[in-house]
Amino acid sequence: MKLTIMRRYSLCMVIAALLICFASVIFAAETAQNSIRSIDISTFRNGQVIAKLTLDQPLDTLPTGVALDNPYRIYFDFYQVSNGLGKNIQEAADGDLRSVNIVQVGDRTRLVLNLAKLMRHDIRAQENVLLIKLVSVAENPMANTVVRFAEETPNKQLNSLQDIDFRRGENGEGRIEVDMTKAGAAVDVQQQGDDIFVEFVDALLPGSMRRRFDVVDFATPVHTIETSKKGDNVRMVVKSKGRWEHSARQSGTRFILEVRALSEDEEELARKKRANGGYTGERLSLNFQDVEVRAVLQVIADFTNFNIIASDSVAGNLTLRLKDVPWDQALDIVLQAQGLDKRKTGNVIFVAPRKEMADRELLDLEAQLQITEMEPLRSEIFHLNHRRVNSLSFEGMLSKRGTINLDEISNTVTVTDIPMRLSEIRKRIQRLDVYERQVMIEARIVDATDTFSRNLGARFGIQNSSNIGNQGLGISGNLTDSSALAGGGSAGGGGNLNVNLPAAAATGLLGGPAALGLSLMKINNGRLINLELSALETDQKGRVIASPRVVTAHGIEAVIEQGDRIPYQQATSSGATSIRFMDATLKLRVKPLITYNGQIDMELSVNQDQIGTAINQFLPPPINTKQVTTKVLVENGGTVVIGGIFNRTENQVVNKVPMLGDIPVLGHVFRNTTKVDNKRELLIFVTPRIISENLNLQ
């Protein structure tokens, strides 16, 4: 009985062990990790690129692509997927996809697509095959922000921003979350100074979101967020203060931008660099007498926990006393004293004599040059959109085997060289072949005049009244033109004048001043006492406006000119004469520079010339010149007054009969008075406006 029970117990144990092994096999088969087996890249003539990934098993969910810039790239994270390619990088043959990096960390594999420029992407699965489609943004700017495959409808709508949310993170960082209607939208993020520019490519902006958000109260590095429409794109400008760094990521239809203030340790590190001439290590003290260099290097290695490798040729002794200095500075002092040099890779520092280090690097360089000589050549055609091919210089960028061909008709550059040099030329073209914004400069030249003159005078005399009769006291004349009396006539119709001081006629006016003639009384022998009063007052106001305007590109000088060319004769040394010309023109010369924050720096020269009155027929007429040359900084759409010339002329002239003209009240009959008050002012207003890419004023 006991033996039977033991046998049954042994049989149960064996069955249980078999069940456990079977379950382990099933569990291991179910939990076998998926892997990427191959990557095939296909480039089409229209610029589209399709990357085909073959995996061991189909994926439950498709990974989300995140687009980054500087440089342009898109990455995908595959969870529970390993790298089964046996390599970490795969080069692309041609097109805008340059290479593919595959990096595995734990159970996650990141696939990075390195791009030549900003591209849209779409991902699609066919069982265990994954297709990633890339399309250049520039070649199809009106398409949807997410590229779809052939079964998609061609009349799809543009991407649109739905909501902008700002919140403060746990560590005090500013977090901007933007919700969009489409997933995988192309987003370009760039930092310029203290501003971050976020460009949503081919996107719409609702009117309620086109405004400026003030987020100072959140106590983050971010102060303001401003959204605006720029052509077919939406631009978001994030202004921050202090020392900070930013990071951006994209998941589905949500874009997240974080701006984090530098920590105290990071700030302390920067402070140390500024205070210690770039050294940031912990401070130490060394005091040695005739000690080996290797021993000092060992002490520094123990203090810093760095791995220091010394060449066999490192030898010699030294004496030093260093107190409270950064360890990296102490290491440099020891190396300089012994003629040594160092190279740092990770946490390993290699130390060798300078000549030996230079020889090693020279051998490495020669090896690279030998590889360059044997590396196969590739050809690539670059199409320039905004620059002319003859305006770019590629001097010194080609290898000895490289060639370059410029085609001015198609505005293309064809380069044949090794891949490394092609990559450098590609980066240079991407950096220089950009849209140069244009500026419209409008100048208003206002020449305002205000002239005033007043002339008072009198004519006084005795007239023979034998031809008039006994009329007694009366008015013998009316308002008349004093020019008719200049020859000695009077209001009464003739006779001698004892005082002839009429008001003078104003320059440039037709006719003379108004006059009033009176016969005051009749005296003995039939004679009359006649008085003629004349007065003239003129008040003229004028304004001459000239408004030249010109459009030019950023950094390009423009000139606009209008006016006359005046011919004149000029005598030569032989006595002959020749016809020469001189200009009397209105000219605007300007060279604008657009700053990173949207302001305009202008070098300006404005002049307005007018033909003056000729002195004689043998000399050319004089040119009245008004000119302003300056350099100003103006905001977009702002107006600045760059010049103001104000002239005022006051003059008062009194002509009188001596002694009689000084008699109170009655003295006005024996004098004439001229008063002149002329004002002239020149003002020049300049208004620059930036023209957007779709040729509209911003």
Q: Annotate 428-480 with three-state secondary structure.
A: HHHHHCCCCCEEEEEEEEEEEEEEEEEEEEEEEEEEECCCCCCCCCECCCCEE
Q: Which amino acid is at 553?
A: A
What average pLDDT does the segment 278-307 reach? 86
Helices 293-304 and 327-337 pack at an angle, to 10 degrees, of 160
Among 646, 607, 647, residue whose Cα is nearest residue 628: 607
Distance CA 284, CA 305 (A): 14
The pLDDT of residue 353 is above 80: yes
Q: List, for residues 633-666, the tens digit of each pLDDT value.
A: 888 888 888 767 778 888 888 888 788 778 887 7
Task: Evaluate whether 111 touches 74 at the Cβ level (below 8 Å).
Answer: no
Strands 203-204 and 159-168: parallel
The DSSP secondary-structure symbol of 299 reads H
In degrees and rounded to multiples of 5, residue 112 shows phi and psi of: -115, 125
* pLDDT confidence of residue 693: 64
Q: List, for residues 563-596, the tens digit of each pLDDT value.
A: 888 887 777 777 777 788 888 888 888 899 888 7
Q: List, for residues 219-264, the tens digit of each pLDDT value.
A: 888 999 999 888 778 899 999 888 788 888 887 788 889 888 876 6
Task: Evaluate whether 592 touches 441 at the Cβ level (below 8 Å).
Answer: yes
Task: Evaluate whether 352 touches 393 at the Cβ level (below 8 Å).
Answer: no
Distance CA 443, CA 79 (A): 63
* pLDDT confidence of residue 414: 94
Residue carrying the six token digits 């060289």: 417
* pLDDT confidence of residue 529: 67
Count of CB atoms situated within 10 Å of the CB of 477: 18
* pLDDT confidence of residue 225: 92
* pLDDT confidence of residue 509: 53
Nearby residues of 342 by Cβ (< 8 Å), 6 or more positions away: 331, 335, 349, 350, 351
Predicted model pTM: 0.42
| Element holding 674 (H helix, E strand) | strand 671-691
Q: Calculate the alpha carbon distances from 567 to 422, 461, 582 in Å.
A: 58, 54, 7
Task: Evaluate whether 558 touches 603 at the Cβ level (below 8 Å).
Answer: no
Q: List, for residues 82-126, the tens digit of each pLDDT value.
A: 888 878 888 876 678 888 888 887 778 888 888 888 888 888 888
Q: What is the mean pLDDT of the chain?
A: 77
**Percent of the chain residues past pLDDT 70, beyond the cut:** 78
Q: How far apart are the first and last CA of the chain?
A: 102
Q: List, for residues 394-436, the tens digit of each pLDDT value.
A: 888 888 889 999 999 999 999 999 888 898 898 888 878 877 7
Q: Which amino acid is at 55?
A: L
The encoded tokens of residue 638 equal 């702002």
What average pLDDT does the segment 309-320 reach? 90
Task: Beginning with the edge strand found earlier in the chain, give each strand of the sheet holding 212-214 in spatial order.
Answer: 187-192, 195-200, 233-240, 222-230, 212-214
SS (H, E, C) 555-602: CCCEEEEEEEEEEEEEECCCCCEEEEEEEEEEEEEEEEEECCCCCEEE
The pLDDT of residue 488 is above 80: no
Distance CA 440, CA 199 (A): 24
SS3 call for 364: helix
What average pLDDT does the segment 19-36 reach? 52
pLDDT band at residue 30 using 50, 70 and 90 as cut-offs: very low
pLDDT band at residue 351 using 50, 70 and 90 as cut-offs: very high
pLDDT band at residue 28 using 50, 70 and 90 as cut-offs: very low
pLDDT band at residue 525 using 50, 70 and 90 as cut-offs: low
Task: Evaluate whether 531 touches 517 at the Cβ level (below 8 Å).
Answer: yes
* pLDDT confidence of residue 142: 36
Task: Evaluate whether 452 touches 649 at the Cβ level (below 8 Å).
Answer: no
Give CA 648 to chain center in angstroms: 43
HSE at residue 369, side-chain half, CA atoms within 13 A, is 8
Q: Which amino acid is at 590?
A: V
The encoded tokens of residue 507 equal 């320059």
Task: Evaluate whether 125 touches 59 at the Cβ level (below 8 Å).
Answer: yes
Distance CA 238, CA 586 (A): 43
